[in-house]
Amino acid sequence: MKPEIRIENNIKTTIELRQKIGLDILAKNELELKQYLKEELQENIFMEYSENEDKTSLDDQEGEMEEDLEVMLENEYSSRKNPRFTNSRKYEQDDILKNLSEEKSFRDILNEDIDLSKIDKKKKKIFHDIMDNINNKGFLENEEIIKEENDLSDDEFENIHTKFLELSSYGIGARNFRESYIWQLKSRGVEDKKLFNLIDNYLTHIKNKDFTFLEKIELKEKDKKEYKALLKTLSINPGYIIEKESVEYIKPDIIVKKSREGDFEIELNKKYDTSLSLNQKYLNLYKHGNINKETKEFFKKYFIRYKYILEGLQQRRETLLKITRFLIDYQKDFFEKGPEQIKNLTRKKIADEFGYSPSTISRAVQNKYIQTEHGIFPLASLFPRKSADGTARIKVYMLIKKFIKNENKKKPLTDGKIKEKLNDNGISIGRRTVAKYRNKLKIPSRKERRL
């Protein structure tokens, strides 16, 4: 009876581990997930990069692993050895642990990103060639050599180079300062033609952190402040940014776009979903090799973790897709017309819809961002709290921002006038509450806004 009780306890432990890993992965945003998988890849002997996107599908892998796991649990305490593998070399545990964690350069980080991305082998090779020709400041050199070695036309290289810049973010791999600045902004979801034109026309000033040119051009004061704040963040050494993490970029976990037919399409970051594969060498050694009990236990631990990480990634993707589809339906006016049209929504409502617990929904939306045609928003902002009169607070915030943006700068609106405008829009709110919301938006008082 003792072995049976022990097996039952082990099964219970693996179920708890599955839940823990699944919830951990669900709670992570795109940047946190990248770091989590990076660390796991350094430690887990069963986890490796897929070099070919046509490899066995995730479902097939999980099916095979399910069978392997069942066999493993059934034979956990058996001392029998498979006679076909009696000549296998005794596995030395030190072989597994020889790769220790160390500080990564931007080259290490981006080469791992390339390996994790779901692109074909040929493009990965070109991406790595581009990486090999990036200097220490993060800029691309020897473009012609890359074209020649890979037999690429100018247009083919431009297409691949653009894809590389989309993957790398931070402007790493750009050929000049202009291109780097543009991609540093794009990586944060900034797509502003006026701002890009300023970079074209005042590149030297921006490189020298001289923003006095903003005072000489015709722009609204608010736009000048926003542009100056963005331009200040641009780095002349993009490689330094990713190594030292001196600038924290917002990378959307979910992108919602409108198709030509008028439907909303959902894009989730696919970089980590199917690019991990099972190391067959260690699987065969684990199942059939002549290894001692201690090493077998070591193998089992990481084999199970690998399986549950793959499950967690798939569950995270499915959960985010379900939530986003629900939001597109429920908050349709928000996606169509903008934040002013958002409706009140609780996590409990969507949890009840899918049979989840509200805490699962909270994990799924926390610290994640959604990119829409109206900008990038925290996913949690699509579950707005109510203001005093029951209106979604984000709607009140956006209306206040809109009224002030469109006000006469020589006669700015008082908080009382903003209150009246909100009342005209069916929102009952007091002047003091308007002042509180305005301060939260970091908008100066009427006196400070006057030209």
- Residues 145, 227: Cα–Cα separation, whole Å: 37
Per-residue model confidence (pLDDT) at position 331: 92
Per-residue model confidence (pLDDT) at position 266: 93
Per-residue model confidence (pLDDT) at position 68: 44
SS (H, E, C) 113-172: HHHHCCCCHHHHHHHHHHHHCECCCCEECCHHHHHHHCCCCHHHHHHHHHHHHHHHCCCC
**CB atoms near residue 379 (< 10 Å):** 21
- Residues 297, 25: Cα–Cα separation, whole Å: 24
Per-residue model confidence (pLDDT) at position 237: 79
Model confidence pLDDT, tens digit, residues 235-261 = 887 766 554 443 345 678 899 998 888
Residue ranges per domain, the chain? Answer: 2-99+271-317, 119-244, 393-449
- Residues 161, 165: Cα–Cα separation, whole Å: 6
What is the mean pLDDT of each successive set of 10 residues along the chain, which is 451 residues long?
Answer: 49 72 87 83 81 44 45 38 31 29 59 75 88 84 87 92 84 90 83 89 89 86 85 79 46 86 84 69 82 85 89 92 94 87 86 87 86 83 68 76 86 90 84 83 81 67
Q: Contact 375/189 with Cβ under 8 angstroms?
A: yes
Report the CATH number of the 393-449 domain. 1.10.10.60
Closest CA to 345 of 398, 384, 396, 387: 384
Per-residue model confidence (pLDDT) at position 451: 67
- Residues 376, 378: Cα–Cα separation, whole Å: 7
Per-residue model confidence (pLDDT) at position 105: 65
**Vertex 406: Cα angle to 400 and 412 (nearest 5):** 80
DSSP 48-93: EE-S-TTSS-HHHHHHHHHHHHHHHHHTTT-----GGGTTSPPPPT
Per-residue model confidence (pLDDT) at position 224: 85
